[in-house]
């Protein structure tokens, strides 16, 4: 049960997401969680200057579930964000949904986002001639539009502190299954789980990865281009500790060159796990590479929070 550390409660009928940044009396910008004793006086939303208040960390019971609520900022009673405020979560989510009615469906609380049609395979090298939305396929729809929409959702969640800060606001829909967003879009806190899934080599639905395009280059053989990130996460693979790298590879340079280095990006394609060689490695711990192959430009896109 993912209950601890939820800054705003999402089990209620409406999804409540904290205001991610506030400005105090002295004009100091406060982000994320207000520290005890840090905030005093009148607080305003950093996006539109409407009144907000700081909620100190506390615990509460929902039924018999013990929930830790992290400190956060929320709208003061009776106040609303200005129309163009970037920190108005419900309005920003509704805007994304309105732009893609074929992809997003409103739920009583939050939204369901259609999982893109799978590449020919989720695991293994990509099929050479895969095209999204093959005519005649019962699940055919614009996978490219779905990925763009997911990129907008990822950007929105990043702006509000990451996808684990707004749980429940978005759900991925795969057939009749409702998938928790973090089980569908892996980010910097879930690369260990990503590697475990790739190691198992099976997973019921296609999934995406959110990473930082730290570096980019061309393979030694000159046949592919790559970008990716050496993450700060480690795991045990085949009984050995390994560092985790996330790499996106493409047989054409265009999709990789289109990214701005150092910025977040979203990838969707076919996965392969490259284990480190068994002989001793100079680098310690050795690197396990979670490699995502893409063969269409829309499978890799920049995420602009």
Which residues, 6+ apart, have CB-to-CB distance to 193 below 8 Å?
186
Site membership for Zn ion, residue 166 (CB under 5 A): no
**Closest distance of CB 143 from Zn ion, Å:** 34
Q: How many residues interact with Zn ion (rule CB under 5 A)?
A: 6
Site membership for Zn ion, residue 48 (CB under 5 A): yes
Which of the stretches 7-15, 42-50, 138-146, 222-230 binds Zn ion when contact is defined by CB under 5 A? Answer: 42-50
- Mapped to the 3 state alphabet, what secondary structure does 124-184 carry? CCCCCCCCCCCCCCCCCCCHHHHHHHHHHHHHHHHHCCCCCCCCCCEEEEECCEEEEHHHC
| Member of 81, 159, 197, 249 binding Zn ion (CB under 5 A) | 81
**Closest distance of CB 141 from Zn ion, Å:** 34
Which of the stretches 78-86, 113-121, 258-266, 280-288 binds Zn ion when contact is defined by CB under 5 A? Answer: 78-86
Within 10 A of 128 (CB to CB), how many other CB atoms are there? Answer: 8
Which of the stretches 79-87, 122-130, 150-158, 177-185 binds Zn ion when contact is defined by CB under 5 A? Answer: 79-87
CA dist., res. 214 & res. 232, Å (int): 13
CA dist., res. 34 & res. 22, Å (int): 9
Site membership for Zn ion, residue 85 (CB under 5 A): yes
Which residues, 6+ apart, have CB-to-CB distance to 282 below 8 Å?
none
| Among candidate residues 96, 53, 93, the one with its CA nearest the CA of residue 71 | 53
Which residues, 6+ apart, have CB-to-CB distance to 206 below 8 Å?
115, 116, 117, 118, 119, 122, 174, 268
Site membership for Zn ion, residue 52 (CB under 5 A): no
CA dist., res. 266 & res. 187, Å (int): 9
CA dist., res. 149 & res. 155, Å (int): 10
User: Please, what is the end-to-end C-alpha distance for the chain in angstroms?
Assistant: 28
CA dist., res. 98 & res. 4, Å (int): 32
| Member of 32, 34, 47, 255 binding Zn ion (CB under 5 A) | 47
Using the minimum distance from each CB to Zn ion, give the nearer residue, 87 or 271.
87
Using the minimum distance from each CB to Zn ion, give the nearer residue, 20 or 182.
20
Which of the stretches 10-18, 37-45, 56-64, 136-144 binds Zn ion when contact is defined by CB under 5 A? Answer: 37-45
Which of the stretches 28-36, 38-46, 206-214, 259-267 binds Zn ion when contact is defined by CB under 5 A? Answer: 38-46
> What does DSSP say about strands 185-186 and 208-212: parallel, antiparallel, or unpaired?
parallel
Q: How many residues does the chain have?
A: 305
What residues from 202 to 221 belong to the interface with Zn ion (CB under 5 A)?
none
**Closest distance of CB 263 from Zn ion, Å:** 24
**Closest distance of CB 289 from Zn ion, Å:** 41
Taken in order 96, 100, 102, 103, is the CA torsion positive or negative? Answer: negative
Site membership for Zn ion, residue 17 (CB under 5 A): no
**Closest distance of CB 187 from Zn ion, Å:** 25
Site membership for Zn ion, residue 119 (CB under 5 A): no
Site membership for Zn ion, residue 45 (CB under 5 A): yes
Using the minimum distance from each CB to Zn ion, give the nearer residue, 51 or 302.
51
Site membership for Zn ion, residue 21 (CB under 5 A): no
Q: For binding to Zn ion (CB under 5 A), which residues are involved? A: 45, 47-48, 81, 85, 87
């Amino acid at each position: 049960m993912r209950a601890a550390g939820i800054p705003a409660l999402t089990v209620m009928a409406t999804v409540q997401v904290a205001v991610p940044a506030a400005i105090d009396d002295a004009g100091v910008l406060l982000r994320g969680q207000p520290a005890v004793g840090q905030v005093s006086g009148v607080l305003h939303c950093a996006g539109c200057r409407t009144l907000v208040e700081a909620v100190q960390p506390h615990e509460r019971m929902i039924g018999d579930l013990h929930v830790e609520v992290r400190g956060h900022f929320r709208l003061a009673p009776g106040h609303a964000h200005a129309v163009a405020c970037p920190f108005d979560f419900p309005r920003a989510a509704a805007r994304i949904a309105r732009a893609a009615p074929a992809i997003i469906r409103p739920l009583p609380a939050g939204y369901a986002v259609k999982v893109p049609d799978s590449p020919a395979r989720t695991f293994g090298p990509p099929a050479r001639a895969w095209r999204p939305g093959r005519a005649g396929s019962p699940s055919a729809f614009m996978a490219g539009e779905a990925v763009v929409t997911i990129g907008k959702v990822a950007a929105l969640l990043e702006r509000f502190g990451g996808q684990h800060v707004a749980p429940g606001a978005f759900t991925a829909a795969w057939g009749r299954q409702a998938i928790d967003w973090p089980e569908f879009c892996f980010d910097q806190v879930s690369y260990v789980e990503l590697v475990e899934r790739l190691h198992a080599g099976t997973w019921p639905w296609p999934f995406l990865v959110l990473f930082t395009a730290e570096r980019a280059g061309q393979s030694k053989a000159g046949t592919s281009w790559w970008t990716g990130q050496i993450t700060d996460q480690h795991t045990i693979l085949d009984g050995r500790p390994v560092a985790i790298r996330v790499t996106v590879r493409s047989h054409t340079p265009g999709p990789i060159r289109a990214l701005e280095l150092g910025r977040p990006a979203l990838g969707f394609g076919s996965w392969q796990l490259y284990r480190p060689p068994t002989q001793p490695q100079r680098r310690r711990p050795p690197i396990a590479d979670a490699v995502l192959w893409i063969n269409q430009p829309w499978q890799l896109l920049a995420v602009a929070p």
